[in-house]
Structure 1
Amino acid sequence: MTTTELPREQQLTEDMTFGSIHKLCIATYCVLMTVSAIGNITVLVNILKRRRNLRFGNNYMFMHLAIADLLVTFLMMPLEIGWNATVSWRAGDAACRVMSFFRIFGLYLSSFVIVCISLDRCFAILRPMSNVVNVAKRSRVMLTTAWSLATVCSLPQVFIFHVQQHPVFTWYEQCLDFDMFPTQLYQFWYRILNMVLVYGFPLLVIFISYACILTEIFRRYQLSSDENFRRSSLVFLNRAKNRTLKMAIIIFVVFFICWTPYYVMCLWYWIDQQSAEKVDLRVRKGLFLFACTNSCMNPIVYGYFNFRSGRGSGYGATRPGQQLQHHQITALSNNSTGVNSRRGSNCSSIYRDNSNQSMSWNRRSSHETEMHANNNRDENHLHPNSAANHNLRTTVSTVSEVPEAR
């Protein structure tokens, strides 16, 4: 008796036989894999070319984000391509467990590194006077935590996923988490926990972090408007505010769009599997493909924009057209050394690329330095709000690292 002659409940379903839908999925994964590989490798190469700046927060975190996305690109995507080609699982139980770990590890790591980047930028604005050592140490601690959490969160997959035979077609085997929980409720909440960690928690952190950044910038901009502050500095701070707002919207929207369709379909499937399976298989497969799109978009959002903004001196550095503005603003500070300590790598790159300007900026005689210090003391005496102005100037210098989305 052939498959088509069997009763309907004993026939292979559409997603259990290789067909046009699987071919479309393979083609789509190949495109996503190519785009993600080109984007993330480009970002990684450009960062490694500037290894002198690698110990600083932005560069260090962008490198780890590119690595995380490359894990998704070269572990998860090829697995999905091969799985769609064979339809059933043919690699054995051990490979099922190992690949189930790496299938989600890259996704966890990518989301957690995005959380680190958001928090790092938030700290840079709210605590701009942190020295380079503290910033580098904070970056290492956050990234170590991200890698550790990604490992811990992915580890249960090794014990949950296994190879199981089809009850009717014993030759058909699949790698799945079926019958590994005491009840379906346990399975449901385990999946919800995964969704919260990969999608809900990072989305919330992105929103809160950039909300705090924008609130602080608007507060200091309003403070500067009420005081005697240089117009050029106000204009520059306003531009930084607009750049930050654009970047915050782009980061939030891209993350939301990349993950929401996938988890909407997952939630539907977890809550009411029967009605979810009535949805056209092409729609279901298409929505599940969204799980990989974030790794394709990250190089654009976090890599391309930062590369554009730091073309002359590395990711997150000041653009050549902004060098004079940056100098003018940091020169206003009551303690320009403290402000620039956090930006030493970026500024040194600018000075190396523009030796003529650096001569005039850096060669200040001891007499001029003393006069400058005396003027600062007089200014502090005349302006009681100089401390607030100093914080604002520091924020201007820090915010200039936020790239402009163009």
Structure 2
Amino acid sequence: MFHLMTQYYANTSCNCSSPPSNWTEGGDALQLPTFTTAAKVRVIITFILCGVSAFCNLAVLWAAHSDSKRKSHVRVLIINLTVADLLVTFIVMPVDAVWNITVQWLAGDFACRLLMFLKLQAMYSCAFVTVVISLDRQSAILNPLAISEARKRNRVMLAVAWSMSVMLSVPQAFLFHNVTINDPEDFTQCSTHGSFLTHWHETAYNMFTFSCLFLLPLVIMITCYTRIFCEISMRLKKDNLQSNEIHLRCSKNNIPRARMRTLKMSIVIVVSFIVCWTPYYLLGLWYWFFPDDLEGKVSHSLTHILFIFGLVNACLDPVIYGLFTIHFRKGLRRFYHKATKASDLENNTVITGSITCCVSQKSSFLTADNVAERDYIQSNTESII
């Protein structure tokens, strides 16, 4: 995303602004971007990640739906995070890949404004829902007696998170628009060129977006888990001073095992968010404040790699959830067995239907040998199931 822009396209927003093609200058003439080898690799990997993320996140939604009798408020949080990841999967990834292929923007001004709004909204929702998960875990550990209020509290926090993701993304629809140049040839791009009076205004907007999208969520998440760590450490010290009695179904610090498992899962989700997106945003900060120093020091291939690394986060969330959730793994096994059984039954129907069709051409009824052959095929298929 962060690439060397010319004065025609002064657009360095961290929220998926322009296609990451290579803009270069040859003397005073503007060299238009091209579909480079690095961009081709990026497109291939992005489509692969899109498929993997769609399969994994849809599997989480299916498992959550099949396990709808469980009233866990954590399940609601995971569903919201999955929906946010699916927005990234079906909006950010395909748009980025297709935009790299076409190089310029071909979808028109309305699609430019709408998709830039949706892309930032998808990224905001992922960050804010992750923050809600952190706040929920903090409340569960620091104030376990208020667990009965968790469902209502989480509904309010989720409503605020989704509302803020929409409101903070609205400026995108007004800042982005189609920009066309005619020299050296007609070229149209979806850009913020002309939307800011000065470069300082653009930098201020970028910093505001960076703060809301990454810095503020990062501070909140670190604060939450620091408090959780301090609380657990304090309980461990208190337990060491008391008897060594181990309570049934509890961990050593008297926190229920299920709650500790959920805490570990949320920590891994937060860590994956931080690890995947930090390099990308650090590169953005470097470009906003020292754009001239970036040229010649950071290759375009690295910018491609860092953005793809950020997209991996949408694939990791469902995997993490599956590793830490027993009911989800059981649900996936049930789904796999049902899918396998349905597939085998369909194949069995095709095979037996073919046999019946072939025999019917020779005679008007099935012989005993045909029936035996059909039963033999069915029994082999059922044994595989």
Tell me if TM exceeds 0.5.
yes
Residue type of the partner of 1:19? T
Q: Separation in 2 of the partners of 1:166 and 1:271?
A: 27
Q: Separation in 2 of the partners of 1:246 and 1:124?
A: 13
- Where do 5+ consecutive residues of structure 2 fail to align? 1-24, 333-385
Q: Separation in 2 of the partners of 1:147 and 1:70?
A: 14
213 and 305 in structure 1: CA distance in 2 versus 1, 3 angstrom threshold: farther
Q: Is the 8 A contact 1:221 1:234 kept in 2?
A: no
Q: Is the 8 A contact 1:112 1:146 kept in 2?
A: yes
Match of 1:151 in 2: 166
Q: Separation in 2 of the partners of 1:173 and 1:268?
A: 27
Q: Separation in 2 of the partners of 1:249 and 1:143?
A: 19
Q: Separation in 1 of the partners of 2:281 and 2:192?
A: 18
Q: Separation in 2 of the partners of 1:44 and 1:313?
A: 11
66 and 226 in structure 1: CA distance in 2 versus 1, 3 angstrom threshold: same
Match of 1:127 in 2: 143
Q: Is the 8 A contact 1:43 1:299 kept in 2?
A: yes
Residue type of the partner of 2:240? S
108 and 158 in structure 1: CA distance in 2 versus 1, 3 angstrom threshold: same
Match of 2:98 in 1: 82
**Offset at residue 168 of structure 1 (A):** 1.8
Residue type of the partner of 1:25? R
Q: Deviations over 1:213-264 (max 9, x none)?
A: 2221221222222223523559722595986886576344322221111112
Q: In terms of mean alpha carbon deviation, does 252-261 or 174-183 score higher?
A: 252-261
**Offset at residue 201 of structure 1 (A):** 1.6
Q: Deviations over 1:105-133 (max 9, x none)?
A: 1110011000000101111111111253x
107 and 265 in structure 1: CA distance in 2 versus 1, 3 angstrom threshold: same
Residue type of the partner of 1:285? H
Q: Separation in 2 of the partners of 1:313 and 1:78?
A: 29
TM-score normalised by structure 2 residue count? 0.72
**Offset at residue 274 of structure 1 (A):** 2.9
Question: Does residue 270 of structure 2 align to residue 255 of structure 1?
Answer: no
Match of 2:215 in 1: 200
Structure 1 SS opposite 2:242: coil
Q: Separation in 1 of the partners of 2:331 and 2:112?
A: 45
Q: Is the 8 A contact 1:162 1:177 kept in 2?
A: yes
Question: Does residue 306 of structure 2 align to residue 276 of structure 1?
Answer: no
Residue type of the partner of 2:160? T
Q: Separation in 2 of the partners of 1:118 and 1:256?
A: 13
**Offset at residue 198 of structure 1 (A):** 1.6
249 and 140 in structure 1: CA distance in 2 versus 1, 3 angstrom threshold: closer
**Offset at residue 289 of structure 1 (A):** 2.6
Q: Separation in 2 of the partners of 1:186 and 1:192?
A: 10
Structure 2 SS opposite 1:236: coil
Q: Is the 8 A contact 2:322 2:328 kept in 1?
A: no
**Offset at residue 64 of structure 1 (A):** 0.4
Q: How does 1:34-53 map to 2 (within 5 A)?
A: 34-53=51-70
**Offset at residue 32 of structure 1 (A):** 1.4
Q: Is the 8 A contact 1:122 1:209 kept in 2?
A: yes
Q: Is the 8 A contact 1:69 1:295 kept in 2?
A: yes
Question: Does residue 337 of structure 2 align to residue 299 of structure 1?
Answer: no
Question: Does residue 117 of structure 2 align to residue 98 of structure 1?
Answer: no
Residue type of the partner of 2:278? T
Which of 42, 53, 74 is residue 25 of structure 1 equivalent to? 42
Q: Separation in 2 of the partners of 1:7 and 1:113?
A: 45
Match of 1:181 in 2: 196
Q: Deviations over 1:50-83 (max 9, x none)?
A: 11224x3200010000000001100111101110
Q: Separation in 1 of the partners of 2:30 and 2:155?
A: 54
Match of 1:115 in 2: 131
Q: Deviations over 1:24-72 (max 9, x none)?
A: 1110111211221122111111111111224x32000100000000011
Which of 62, 69, 85 is residue 69 of structure 1 equivalent to? 85
Q: Deviations over 1:284-338 (max 9, x none)?
A: 222233332221222223x123324775699xxxxxxxxxxxxxxxxxxxxxxxx
Residue type of the partner of 2:109? D
**Offset at residue 169 of structure 1 (A):** 3.4
Q: Separation in 2 of the partners of 1:221 and 1:101?
A: 47
Q: Separation in 1 of the partners of 2:96 and 2:150?
A: 39
Q: Separation in 2 of the partners of 1:129 and 1:66?
A: 28
Match of 2:243 in 1: 228
Q: Separation in 1 of the partners of 2:39 and 2:65?
A: 38
Structure 2 SS opposite 1:231: coil
Q: Separation in 1 of the partners of 2:48 and 2:283?
A: 22
Match of 1:369 in 2: none
Q: Separation in 2 of the partners of 1:204 and 1:252?
A: 12
Residue type of the partner of 1:206? M
